[in-house]
Amino acid sequence: MPTVADNFFKLAVVFLIVGIAMGLQMSISGLHDVTGAHAHANLLGWASSAIFGVYYALNPAKARARLAQVHFWVYAAAVVVMIPALYLMLQGYAAMEMLVAVSSLLAFAAVLVFAVVVFGKTPEAATEPSALAG
Ligand code: HEM
């Protein structure tokens, strides 16, 4: 599996653990104040990262492009900052709002990089030999 796909799956699993832990925390305490952080940990952290990982696993030529690395590191930095900041903000630490805003914009930038990877040309030299080629 390409390194970037493996990295996305590692990021995904970390956030699945974090997201479920927050869900359990809310269920056990009966306080649902961090629903937003839980939902974003699970959907941006776990589900979206896993989908990125599947994409790169299925497209190894695109995974070798430098932009794929940029996509991973910008996205990882964004969610690693956003989820704890959102969690704290929802618990009343209003000062976290700026961090949530900046990291959200960073996540958006990473998604735009992913769009360039998807719509961009596959590097010729890095193209995988077709399984159907004789
Ligand atoms: C053991 C696992 C989980 C537990 C105990 C759990 C628990 C919860 C709880 C207590 C809420 C708050 C409900 C409310 O106040 O209305 C919630 C909301 C939510 N959860 Fe989970 N959750 C779990 C896993 C997941 C997973 C895996 C995902 C997504 C991949 C997810 C996505 C969401 C979303 C999107 C919301 C917000 C729903 C809304 O506001 O309408 N949860 N969860």
pLDDT in tens, 81-119: 999 999 999 999 999 999 999 999 999 999 999 999 999
Tokens representing 120 are 């961009």
CB 114 within 8 A of CB 76: no
Residue ranges in the chain whose pLDDT is less than 70: 124-134
Whole-model pTM: value is 0.90
Ligand 1 surroundings by CB, under 6 angstroms: 19-20, 23-24, 26-27, 32, 35, 38-39, 42-43, 46-47
